[in-house]
Structure 1
Amino acid sequence: MADLDTFLDELQSTLNEQTKTAYGEEAFDRWRNPPHRGRPSAANCQGSSTGNCGDTITIFLQIEDDTVRDAGFHTDGCGSSQISGSMAAELALGKRCEDLPAITGEIVRDRLGGLLKDDEHCAWLAANALHDAVGDYYKRTLHHTEQA
């Protein structure tokens, strides 16, 4: 049994090192413990984006006075979708709504230190979900203003 445990520990260590080499330390750490995972309790808007790969990223925002006070994400996708959603939520924090469209897939990817070519689309999914969340906020705000 000890030989199996040793083998599995060595295998996990090898896989972790290969992942760090492929994705970088920032992405590896974010994958192991993704900040901003989940829906903030006071979220008042959300947006989603689904890729051709089938992954969906949802971004949740708590916006007050046109400023993002809290953000979170959910994905049913791969590790690259997870780290991209996490980064997009982080990049939104403290930003004014008018500044959020400037957070692009390129910015998400670059802040992660890059992604494998086959996974780069995940950064765009996260940015698109963020933009969709801002659109949801504006729709809700406009609808609320029209009813007042």
Structure 2
Amino acid sequence: MSDKLDDFVNDLQGRIFEETRAAYGELGFERWRNPLYQGAMQDAHGRARLKGTCGDTMQLFLKFEQGRVVSASYLTDGCGASTVCGSLAAEMAHGCTPEAIADITGETILELLGVFPEEDRHCAFLAAATLQEALSDYMRHTILDADSRIK
């Protein structure tokens, strides 16, 4: 009896993987299965938390050294699409200057993915908006720190 159940579960999982790979593309599928850069960052220089139109919450954390991102991570309470997009937004920020981060948009994330379901595209824009807000947080702190040193 357990062999039949195991066969059923394996078949079902295989079909889910095939459907997800077709919908998200290879990169999206890999990030869905093994998200990178997931987790909170206590010593972040810039951080943001936004809620998307779908109700998913995305958090993004940035750490800078010598004007470049040396570490980026994200958290989401959302669906697989939010996980994929948060992971890619954090990856794209690594090594970037603030100016380069400012150029990362939802479209940039979608272009990297290549294939993504129409109904999940908003997740790329949520990830990009959260990244931009984390950058703004970093810039606010940088300007405030510079102002306090001048006085």
* Aligned residue type for 2:123: C
Partner AA of 2:77 in structure 1: D
* TM-score (normalizing by structure 2): 0.93
Amino acid across the alignment from 1:64: E
Query: Hey, what's the Cα distance between the residues in 1 that align with 2:86 and 2:8?
Result: 33
**Alignment-derived partner of residue 8 in structure 2:** 7
1:27 shift after superposition: 0.5
Q: Secondary structure at the match of 2:69?
A: strand
Tell whether the 8 Å contact from 2:23 to 2:115 is kept in structure 1 after alignment.
no
Report the residue type matching 1:100 in the other structure: I
Q: Find the counterpart in structure 2 of residue 100 from structure 1.
A: 101
Unaligned runs of 5+ in 1: none
Deviation of residue 64 (structure 1)? 1.7
Aligned partners of 1:62, 1:13: CA distance in 2, in Å? Answer: 38
- How far has the Cα of 1:91 moved from its partner? 0.5
**CA distances 1:85-128 after superposition (whole Å, capped 9, x unpaired):** 00001111111011211001000111122310010010000110
Could you tell me which residue of structure 2 aligns to residue 71 of structure 1?
A: 72
Q: Per-residue displacement from partner, 1:40-59 (whole Å, max 9, x unpaired)? A: 45422112222111011111
Give the 3-state SS of the residue equivalent to 2:114 in structure 1. Answer: coil
2:141 equivalent in structure 1: 140
2:62 alignment counterpart: 61
* More displaced stretch, 37-46 vs 19-28: 37-46
Q: Which residue of 2 aligns with 1:25?
A: 26
For the 8 Å contact 2:47–2:59, the answer to whether it is kept is: yes
Q: Write the letter of the residue equivalent to 1:15.
A: I
Kindly report which structure 2 residues correspond to 1:124-135, keeping only aligned pairs within 5 A, or say none.
124-135=125-136
Root mean square deviation, CA, Å: 1.2
Query: Helix, strand or coil for the counterpart of 1:111?
Result: helix
* CA shift for structure 1 position 7: 0.7
Of 126-135 and 46-55, more deviation after overlay is shown by 46-55
Q: Tell me, what secondary structure is at the counterpart of 1:120?
A: helix
> C-alpha distance in 2, partners of 1:114/1:48?
26
State the number of aligned residues: 148
The alignment-based identity, stated in percent, is 41
Within 2, Cα distance between the matches of 1:122 and 1:114?
13
1:48/1:130 contact within 8 Å kept: no
Note the residue ranges of structure 2 that are not aligned, 5 or more in a row: none
Whichever residue aligns with residue 145 of structure 2, its letter is: H
